[in-house]
């Protein structure tokens, strides 16, 4: 009988479930989409029960439609998007839809707390600025806007710990997700109850903290009946999706860097010394004794998803045997570097790092009658690459310069887009298995937790292999340097207009 590991990824637009053997080979995989609710401008929320349904459907499908047997699964790891605020009552019932990382509704709460407590003091403890994207202001938004719900809250969970709870019945908070709450001590990896009190977060809301590879509990009888999993299968705490994707892409040692190509964009730099920067995001890596200095943008692979959904009717109906995304990629390839002056700002839900502007808007600049759909597609790709470069430059200023990026996520499947990122940043980009990096990172945590791997680094050495390499093109880099300066200038000139 095989030893297999199950990885679960709770993404923004869909969940992915995959089963791996100890060499990192995919034995089976399924995904399920769910909705992002946007009831008001600047809001973005999801129903945690949609995640559960999607995950359970995927697991049942894998166990009923493939050769994977429940008893072969030796451990389960769960990762998920950061900065949720899942409100549970004492019976474990979800009380309200959770705002997610794209949600910007709580800016006023941040302004008041930064003035009352002091933004510098908050940053000194938490290693992160108090911004509306994070979990902290969302909790307090419940208090101000739904006091009847707030009074019933017993625990606030993140999306991976919520799935772990539904599988095991145990409450947890993994260390890599601590960065969402500003009463989390980013040096000591523990709750600071004095700051929690000042912020107005009750102690009972805060779950016990676990290492990412720590076994929180085992699959319950109820979860086994709902999924087909074997009762008693160990489940580890898991971690942040970006951190698990970083691990699954091969980043397990200080100095290594991941480039993120999922719904969101950005990068994660592995460091072993504390180094916070208010323009970036700092969190613990899922690898023990390391942090990730991160750039996180709202415009990543989600930009192309948005473009395809709204402007690719022809490609979807074109019976040529190629997906609409492949066809969009092909028309973008025909456009020269720089999109002949068309520049795109990918601020599609405000923007996070490094500008931290909830009012930022997406912009196409440089339109004229010569521009085609191909120009728009390529400009979207280039705009996301400019956002990546902006974050890398800020990180370098903070002392975390990098020479090579390890790409992951669906965007890494596009050779054109990956090459554009190499050309724009001037960095070498290597691509491991891109589609499964995040679920595999979660599976690695389970493998370490149950003893299949001695450590995360040794798991990476055994399983992660580069499939292709992209070296920057100096001629294109020269073109992009000029376009990048325009990209920065457009935002600076428009940011006050955007606020109005």
Lowest-confidence region among 232-236, 348-352, 376-380: 348-352
The reply to whether 316 and 212 lie within a common domain is no
E strand spans, 34-94: 45-46, 73-80, 86-88
Question: Residue 255 domain-assigned?
Answer: no
Pairing of strands 209-210, 173-174: parallel
Name the residue with tokens 């606020």. Answer: 499
Domain boundary among 214, 232, 248: 248
Q: Tell me what pLDDT residue 434 has.
A: 60
Question: Residue 263 domain-assigned?
Answer: no
What counts of helices (H) and strands (E) characterise the chain?
17, 24
Distance of CA 282 to the CA centre of its chain: 13
Q: Tell me what pLDDT residue 147 has.
A: 98
The reply to whether 22 and 149 lie within a common domain is yes
Q: Measure the CA–CA gap between 204 and 418, rounded to whole angstroms.
A: 45
pLDDT tens track for 227-271: 999 999 999 999 999 999 999 999 999 999 999 988 889 999 999
Domain boundary among 214, 248, 282: 248
φ, ψ of residue 43 in degrees (nearest 5)? -95, 145
Q: Answer yes or no: are the C-beta atoms of 61 and 42 closer than 8 Å.
A: no
Q: Tell me what pLDDT residue 53 has.
A: 98
E strand spans, 47-191: 73-80, 86-88, 98-99, 155-157, 173-174, 184-185, 190-191
Q: Tell me what pLDDT residue 409 has.
A: 84
Question: Residue 48 domain-assigned?
Answer: yes
φ, ψ of residue 478 in degrees (nearest 5)? -65, -40
Domain boundary among 204, 223, 248: 248
Name the residue with tokens 């597609």. Answer: 377
Q: Measure the CA–CA gap between 492 and 335, rounded to whole angstroms.
A: 27
Name the residue with tokens 């600076």. Answer: 492
Across-strand partners of 4? 73
Check which CATH number belongs to the domain holding 379 and give it.
3.30.420.40
Question: Residue 105 domain-assigned?
Answer: yes
The mean pLDDT value for 160-174 works out to 98
Across-strand partners of 234? 218
Q: Tell me what pLDDT residue 218 has.
A: 98
The reply to whether 223 and 371 lie within a common domain is no
Domain count, the chain: 2
Q: Is pLDDT of 74 > 80?
A: yes
- Domain containing 319 equals 301-431+468-499
- Specify the DSSP element, H or E, that contains 240: strand 239-240
Token pair of 324 as six digits = 């609409």
DSSP, collapsed to helix, strand or coil, labels residue 370 as: coil
Q: Measure the CA–CA gap between 271 and 127, rounded to whole angstroms.
A: 14
Q: Tell me what pLDDT residue 9 has.
A: 98
């Amino acid at each position: 009988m095989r030893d297999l590991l199950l990885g679960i990824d709770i993404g923004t637009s869909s969940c992915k479930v995959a089963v791996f053997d100890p060499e990192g080979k995919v034995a089976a995989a399924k995904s399920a989409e769910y909705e992002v609710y946007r009831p008001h401008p600047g809001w973005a929320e999801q129903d945690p029960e949609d995640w559960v349904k999607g995950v359970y459907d995927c697991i049942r499908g894998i166990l009923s439609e493939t050769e994977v047997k429940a008893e072969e699964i030796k451990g389960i790891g769960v990762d998920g998007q950061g900065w949720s605020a899942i409100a549970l009552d004492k019976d474990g019932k979800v009380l309200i839809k959770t705002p997610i990382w794209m949600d910007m509704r709580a800016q006023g709460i941040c302004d008041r707390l930064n003035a009352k407590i002091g933004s510098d003091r908050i940053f000194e403890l938490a290693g992160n600025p108090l911004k509306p994207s994070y979990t902290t202001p969302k909790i307090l938004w419940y208090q101000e806007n739904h006091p009847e719900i707030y009074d019933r809250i017993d625990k606030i969970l993140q999306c991976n710990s919520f799935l772990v709870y539904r599988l095991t019945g145990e409450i947890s908070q993994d260390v890599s997700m601590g960065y969402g709450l500003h009463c989390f001590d980013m040096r000591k990896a523990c709750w600071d109850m004095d700051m929690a009190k000042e912020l107005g977060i009750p102690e009972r809301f805060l779950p016990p903290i676990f290492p990412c590879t720590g076994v929180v509990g085992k699959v319950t009888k109820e979860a086994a009946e709902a999924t087909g999993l074997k009762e008693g299968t160990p489940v580890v705490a898991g971690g942040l999706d970006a951190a698990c994707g970083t691990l699954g892409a091969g980043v397990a040692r200080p100095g290594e860097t991941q480039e993120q190509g999922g719904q969101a964009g950005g990068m994660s730099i592995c460091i072993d010394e504390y180094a916070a920067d208010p323009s970036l995001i700092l969190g613990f890596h899922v690898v023990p004794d390391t942090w990730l200095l991160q750039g996180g943008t709202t415009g990543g692979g989600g930009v192309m998803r948005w473009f395809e959904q709204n402007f690719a009717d022809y490609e979807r109906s074109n019976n040529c045997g190629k997906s609409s995304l492949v066809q969009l990629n092909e028309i973008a390839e025909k456009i020269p570097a720089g999109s002949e002056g068309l520049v795109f700002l990918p601020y599609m839900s405000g923007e996070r790092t490094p500008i931290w502007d909830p009012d930022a808007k997406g912009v196409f600049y440089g339109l004229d009658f010569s521009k085609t759909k191909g120009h728009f597609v390529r400009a979207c790709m280039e705009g996301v690459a400019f956002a990546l470069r902006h974050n890398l430059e800020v990180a370098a200023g903070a002392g975390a310069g990098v020479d090579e990026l390890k790409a992951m996520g669906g965007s890494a499947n596009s050779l054109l887009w990956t090459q554009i990122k190499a050309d724009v940043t001037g960095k070498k980009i290597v691509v491991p298995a891109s589609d499964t990096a995040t679920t595999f990172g979660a599976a690695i945590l389970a493998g370490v937790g149950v003893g299949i791997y001695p450590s995360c680094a040794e798991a990476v050495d055994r399983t992660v292999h580069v499939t292709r390499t992209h070296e920057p093109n100096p001629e294109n880099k020269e073109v992009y340097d000029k376009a990048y300066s325009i990209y920065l200038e457009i935002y600076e000139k428009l940011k006050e207009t955007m606020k109005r």
